[in-house]
Structure 1
Amino acid sequence: MLGKGTEMNLITIFTPTYNRAYCLNKCYESMKRQTCQDFDWLIIDDGSSDGTEQLVHQWMKESHGFNIRYVYKENGGMHTAYNTAYEMIETELSMNVDSDDYLTDTAVDEILTFWSQNKREDVGGIYALDQYGDGQIVGCPFPDDLKEFHGWGYKTIYYENNGKKKCHHNKGDKKFIGVTKAIKQYPPIPVFEGEKYHSLYYKQHLIERDYTILIFNRPVCAVEYMDDGSSKNMYYQYVRNPKGFCDERKFVMQYAPSRKLRIEAAIHYVAESLLTGNKHFITDSTNKTATICAAPLGVLLYLWIRKKTKE
């Protein structure tokens, strides 16, 4: 590990990277442009062999107002890089920015200002917005009256306003800013031998279940879905990492607040269980009723995944 200490700053921006030296500079340049540079940039190199280490070492010699920390680890997938980051982060807040993404120029300033105005002991995190490079919001923004929620934030958010219960169906990725002491209360994201993918929402689900989540309805990160990224290769991820996906679906089946979400998870659970060769997936399910109901569609999804990954 290289870099200075983290005592003075409130937030760590962490970036897992694997052979992204060709585009990581865009992320770095956005760090340099921050109107507030009271942050740490923690780079978790997940086994790169493309000169990423030399590139980062050069940046560390340059003059800038923020602190760069660099850690190299054996390749294990992005979720293992998250686990490494969470072990190392000591600042009050933390936020992931992928290696092919970059911060908006005022992101750190706005996040820290928002936190100083809204900090509470029962808060475990903040959701802000992502945008594309042209400024268009990814998916949709949050409703103006949604200021916070507690319990569940995956696709469907239930909240109250003026005594009325409301529901927001979220579309598109959002940026999670975690309260570090809350993040560290939970076990690492599960790792399965031979697999290099697990949902990165694992700890977020747990935090949403146990803490209040604040809404900062502003974009703080510009995203780009690249051809070598996991979002572009999801069908292959299903085939290569079915145990990790099954683990995530079991959580959603158990805790999701709506039947629709539980059935959707069950369909994927059946398909991914078949990919693992698990004949006891009904017995192993956290929601046997949903799994039985979803079994026919799960078989069809399994066949579809097989077809798509053979093309």
Structure 2
Amino acid sequence: MSLEDLAGTLERSGDYRVLRRLRPQWLEALPEGRRVRLGLFVDLETTGLDASVDEIIEIGMVPFAFTLDGAMLGVLPAFSRLREPSVPVPPRVTELTGLTQEMLAGHSITPEEVAAFAAEASLVIAHNAAFDRPFIEAFCTAFAEKPWACSMADVPWADAGFESRKLGYLATQAGFFFDGHRATDDCLASLALLGCGGFPEGRTALACLLERARSVWVRIWATQAPFESKDVLKARGYRWNDGMDGRPKAWFIDVPPEKQAEEEAFLREEIYRRDVALTVSALKATDRFTSRV
């Protein structure tokens, strides 16, 4: 009896769930077709969380083929490189990623080779693009010109029965496991999840993401919000900007157009408790998740 037969026997008993190791669907070349596009999934490991001071220590980029209606066709050979930082790797980073100073010693990556690898991608995705995009943009300016989407924020995972947006939890509920917390492995796991179905109207996770990416979002600034409201804003998904980059010193949130009226009403009723003029700006896919706007 094969291992798969054994796994099937356990599952049919109703007393077990079996997780299978992720087996990516590798392609040798981009399939032909007028509705086929090349995407790029990006994941980074860094020395910390602040793109203005911390450094990239690993870049993983996995090209993938998809159709305009959201079908995942497969993945192409990856870019996986290490980079020695100018500062010691913090112990917490080594504990999380397994990357040590010794492993990174002597390794380098140039912006030019990253830009060349990403040149043909029509869409860049990350699982928490608000973290990855500022880092990779600061390292390689070519990413500033690309449309971006986020597999964590742009997919309504709860609509398909998923109970968390964290990558490991999503993979477990989808029925597979992988070697996490290394850049390329996280890319491959995220792409497998984007191929999942079970969403309203028979759509895939990728189809939901593409719909969000094609819409023009809005950024709403909660300028001069009362200090005591900071925990409420943070819990709702607002992010803080310290004003050092020329943007307002304030909390802000990015929402799809259909959520704008609801979000403005929340600010006026729950935060300011009066009618106020709000600062709102449009965000195209080339502007989302960046710290430039």
TM-score (norm 1): 0.27
